[in-house]
Amino acid sequence: MIKDIIRKIRLLRNKKKEPYLLFYNMLGFYPDKIEYYQLALHHKSAPLVAGGKRGSCNERLEFLGDAILNSVITDIIYKRFPNKQEGFLTNLRSRIVSRESLNQLAAEIGLNKHVVASKHTIKNSNNNLNGNALEALFGAIYLDQGYRKCKSFVEDYLFQHFLDWDELLENEINFKSKMLEWCHKNHLEPEFVLIDEIVVKNRHTFRTCLKIGNNVICEATGSSKKESEQKASKIAYEQINNTPDFIVKLLQSPMEEEKAEIFSE
């Protein structure tokens, strides 16, 4: 009780201060421990602030925020769509937490204007700087005010002002989800293998291979691991629809293929 009173007094004293107003305008509430939020906006490419420690950037908060955001979204859509199956829920969650969606959402709440990073990183239009900072912000909210505040922030603020359920529910194919469903239906085990990651001037390119059983189906590249997996899934899914005997080839073991070659000789 006393702690809550002290916290309210401290917040009332700080409300008119610029950093607190900045985050209030962005998030719709006043932070308590503002240092978490400031760190969430500090990219590793930015110079250290006075007295800052090496490694003082938002990467750890991003790691935490990614897990919190996925948990919050899962919680919300599970309860909102009680009659929908796993594939639908997975697809919808993937759309909400995709890099493209988070980058756009970061811009809509004004976060992109306050991320601290090197000029080169900011100019690079192919990075996920703002979406990553938004994930870090979720980590900050969780550490500062807990899981319930994270959920109410998404449910009562973001979905009320920036996220549209109708738009999210439009029929946009998530090819990775489709591939996982198809493999599960046909009792096959898919595996996404990261083959390579190339970094040139802060620009990442990921190369992923999709295997089903012992068969290498295809490879694809993208600016993120998720994007490369989606592209590989799309290639494979198109093969399924365009090649009638695709599943027959998958079900043939290497030993059966060797036998077939021997008998054909």
Q: Which residue has the higher pLDDT, 175 or 3?
A: 175
SS3 category, 198: strand
Domain boundaries, the chain: 2-168, 175-264
66 catalytic per annotation: yes
Report the pLDDT value the prediction gives residue 12, as an integer from 0 to 100: 57
Of 18, 32, 62, 66, catalytic = 66
Bin 194: left if φ > 0, else alpha if -120 < ψ < 50, else beta. beta
pLDDT tens column, 192-203: 999 998 887 777
Count the residues in the chain.
265
Report the pLDDT value the prediction gives residue 152, as an integer from 0 to 100: 94
What are 221's strand-pairing partners? 207
What are 58's strand-pairing partners? none
Q: Which residue has the higher pLDDT, 117 or 235?
A: 235
Q: Averaged over 205-218, what is the pLDDT?
A: 90
Around Cβ 128, how many Cβ atoms within 10 Å? Answer: 18
The whole-angstrom separation of Cα 230 and Cα 95 is: 12
Q: Which residue has the higher pLDDT, 209 or 85?
A: 209
Residue pair 175/98 in contact (Cβ under 8 Å)? The answer is: no
Among the ranges 29-43, 132-146, 153-167, 232-246, which has the highest mean pLDDT value?
Answer: 132-146
Angle among Cα 109, 110, 111 to the nearest 5 degrees reads 95
User: Who's near 136: CB < 8 A, 6+ residues apart?
Assistant: 39, 40, 41, 58, 59, 61, 62, 65
Q: Averaged over 118-143, what is the pLDDT?
A: 82
Report the pLDDT value the prediction gives residue 9, as an integer from 0 to 100: 54
State which fold the 2-168 domain adopts: Ribonuclease iii, N-terminal Endonuclease Domain; Chain A (1.10.1520)
172 catalytic per annotation: no
CA dihedral of 171, 173, 177, 180, whole degrees rounded to 10: 120
Of 62, 135, 227, 229, catalytic = 135
Give the confidence band of 136 by pLDDT, cuts at 50, 70, 90. Answer: very high
Pairing of strands 190-200, 215-222: unpaired
pLDDT tens column, 146-198: 999 999 999 999 998 888 887 787 655 678 888 888 888 888 889 999 999 88
Report the pLDDT value the prediction gives residue 237, as an integer from 0 to 100: 86
Report the pLDDT value the prediction gives residue 255, as an integer from 0 to 100: 41
Residue pair 136/40 in contact (Cβ under 8 Å)? The answer is: yes
Q: Where are the beta strands (DSSP E) in 57-213?
A: 190-200, 203-212
CATH number of this structure's domain 175-264: 3.30.160.20
Report the run of H or E that residue 264 belongs to, with start and end: helix 254-264
Report the pLDDT value the prediction gives residue 252, as an integer from 0 to 100: 62
Report the pLDDT value the prediction gives residue 37, as an integer from 0 to 100: 94
Give the confidence band of 260 by pLDDT, cuts at 50, 70, 90. Answer: very low
Q: Averaged over 120-131, what is the pLDDT?
A: 71
Q: What is the residue-averaged pLDDT of the chain?
A: 81
Residue pair 124/45 in contact (Cβ under 8 Å)? The answer is: no
